[in-house]
Amino acid sequence: MDDMTWDYILKFVIVGDAAVGKSCLLIRLTDDRFAASEPTLGVEFGSRLVSTTVGGQAKRVKVQCWDTAGTESFRSITRSYFRGAAGALLVYDVTRRETFEHATSWLSDLRTHADENVSIILVANKTDLCATEPTVLPQIQFGEAVYVMPEPAPEAGTPAPEQDATDSSAESGSKSTATPSGNISPPAKNDSAAPGRKLVPRAVSTLEGALFAKQHNLLYVETSAKEGWGVIDAFEQTARQILERVERGEFERRKPAGVNLAENKTKGGCC
Ligand SMILES: Nc1nc2c(ncn2[C@@H]2O[C@H](COP(=O)(O)OP(=O)(O)O)[C@@H](O)[C@H]2O)c(=O)[nH]1
Ligand SMILES: [Mg+2]
């Protein structure tokens, strides 16, 4: 994609606990590579053009992304970068449950310090540690009382019930599919782990992440910064939601600082 023109410029921030993979997601976005990064001190910046379709029309979006430090000591600096963001990636590590539990606190920071219109996507990162292929997200039906809540695992020695959303292999990131009623059919067994690659159990299932996102009005994506799974999709999905809201006129009265609405800008005409 030529890097000279774009339709919109959107400011993004990446937030979440330390070591969930925020810097690696940014490097994957900007350079399309995986690099063992140094811990982020304060804030880092990168940008890239992505494309998305809004109202049937292709749009080129320049994503300007600020990667923040997740440690407590930098939290006040981190917050100051929230202002004016049009989009936010709230990242957790699917193998460390506490990073998912802290999403509530990051969300509250975003809601308090970012623009009220900010579009937030919940990013379940490091899925490569639990699966050999990207997760195919089931079409989970949330409307009209068809939530499918995970149930506790059966006691040891108890015969396994018919496989459904509680299937423990769904926890380990195997692919699964959903029926129109919202029940999740048995996932394909993931027997094809690459030789020498040891998979670890997921600490947060797809369903739990997706439910949290739904309950808090967030988008949801599963990624691996290492393998490149879902990373560009995370930015494109969020950009699409922001631009759809722009098209619907939600920003007419109050233009968000993180959206440059001027169309057909060329390089050098940046905000
Ligand atoms: N396996 C795997 N490791 C990852 C992934 N993303 C980041 N890491 C590793 O997790 C550690 C922390 O990553 P980093 O991007 O610095 O986390 P940050 O503190 O949130 O910015 C590093 O050792 C990365 O190599 C991923 O998608 N898969
Ligand atoms: Mg970092």
Does residue 82 lie in a domain region? yes
Q: Does residue 23 line the site of ligand 1, with CB under 6 A?
A: yes
**pLDDT of 171:** 37
Ligand 1: distance of its center to the CA of 59 in Å?
Answer: 30
**pLDDT of 110:** 93
- Tell me the pairing of strands 119-125 and 219-222: parallel
Q: Does residue 28 line the site of ligand 1, with CB under 6 A?
A: no
**pLDDT of 208:** 96
> Atom of ligand 1 at shortest distance to CA of 225?
27
**pLDDT of 8:** 93
Q: Does residue 24 line the site of ligand 1, with CB under 6 A?
A: yes
User: How confident is the prediction along the chain (271 residues), in pLDDT tens digits per residue?
Assistant: 556 789 999 999 999 999 999 999 999 999 999 987 666 666 678 899 999 998 888 999 999 999 987 676 677 777 778 888 999 999 999 999 999 999 999 999 999 988 888 999 999 999 999 999 998 886 666 654 444 444 455 544 444 444 333 333 333 333 343 333 333 333 434 444 456 678 999 999 999 999 999 999 999 999 999 999 999 999 999 999 999 998 888 765 555 556 665 444 554 333 3
**pLDDT of 260:** 64
Does residue 190 lie in a domain region? no
**pLDDT of 178:** 38
Residues 213 and 182 sit within 8 Å (Cβ to Cβ): no
Q: Does residue 198 line the site of ligand 1, with CB under 6 A?
A: no
Count of alpha carbons within 13 Å of 150, Cβ hemisphere only?
18
- Residue 12 sits in a domain whose CATH number is 3.40.50.300
**pLDDT of 96:** 98
Does residue 178 lie in a domain region? no
Q: Does residue 36 line the site of ligand 1, with CB under 6 A?
A: yes
Ligand 1: distance of its center to the CA of 24 in Å?
Answer: 6
Does residue 78 lie in a domain region? yes
Instruction: Please state the domain count of the chain.
Output: 1
For the entire predicted model, the pTM comes to 0.78
What is 12-46 written as a DSSP string? Answer: EEEEESTTSSHHHHHHHHHHSS---PPPP-SEEEE
> Atom of ligand 1 at shortest distance to CA of 26?
15
**pLDDT of 88:** 96
Q: Does residue 99 line the site of ligand 1, with CB under 6 A?
A: no
Q: How far apart are CA 231 and CA 132, in angstroms?
A: 16
**pLDDT of 161:** 41
**pLDDT of 196:** 65
> Atom of ligand 1 at shortest distance to CA of 24?
15
Does residue 194 lie in a domain region? no
Does residue 159 lie in a domain region? no
Residue in this structure with the two tokens 């950009």, named with its chain if needed:
239
Q: Does residue 185 line the site of ligand 1, with CB under 6 A?
A: no
Segments forming the whole domain that contains residue 108: 8-141+202-261
Ligand 1: distance of its center to the CA of 136 in Å?
Answer: 22
**pLDDT of 150:** 47
Does residue 34 lie in a domain region? yes
Q: How far apart are CA 12 and CA 15, in angstroms?
A: 10
**pLDDT of 233:** 95
